[in-house]
A and B are shown apart, each in its own frame.
Chain A
Amino acid sequence: EVQLLESGGHLVQPGGSLRLSCAASGFTFSSYGMSWVRQAPGKGLEWVSAISGSGGTTYYSDSVKGRFTISRDNSKNTLYLQMNSLRAEDTAVYYCAKHAGGQWPVLRDAFDIWGQGTMVTVSS
């Protein structure tokens, strides 16, 4: 069964840092692009960042560029999101999502598998 399991969400102070992880299973992890998508409380979905299957190409939304870094360890089937200089507006449930595959750039792919999400709260 294809599964994604996020972890690392926490309460953090403004200006702080946090690293999220997403453990993947049930598919050939290195063959697929992956994304992080967030959802603020009571709000809609917002794409945050994506990475190609090899990890060699990364993409960021304007709202997180320069503060967040996406990476992956294909030997551990794990996706990461390093979040620095956190702001109150970064408060959200963060989902990792598997790209359906077959497109380049990978951003043209739909997100066919989603994790259950991990909550990040930025507050003093």
Chain B
Amino acid sequence: QSVVTQPPSASGTPGQRVTISCSGSSSNIGSHYVYWYQQLPGTAPKLLIYRNDQRPSGVPDRFSGSKSGTSASLAISGLRSEDEADYYCGPWDDSLSAPVFGGGTKLTVL
């Protein structure tokens, strides 16, 4: 059981905007930056969002992150078929003194 919680699945149609939530506590999201990772089928996770809302170079601005209190969200606008992937949030956790991951959200593009 992860210390941060994500919905197991999300879906949308091409062009739509979808959001994926990540809920934690004061010892993780409430105190630290949130990172988001995208894992395309059969590949390694890739950094998608860092420090809550920053995009690495090469990540389209269709992807955005936000954080409020002990929750964070990933938003994907203008949904495309190639966005179909698993998405993981990952803050640091003070209780473990370690990085943690949410359980992952499988995004399906209908």
Instruction: Please indicate whether A and B come from the same complex rather than being unrelated chains.
Output: no
User: Which residues of A are at the interface with B, using a C-beta cutoff of 8 A?
Assistant: none
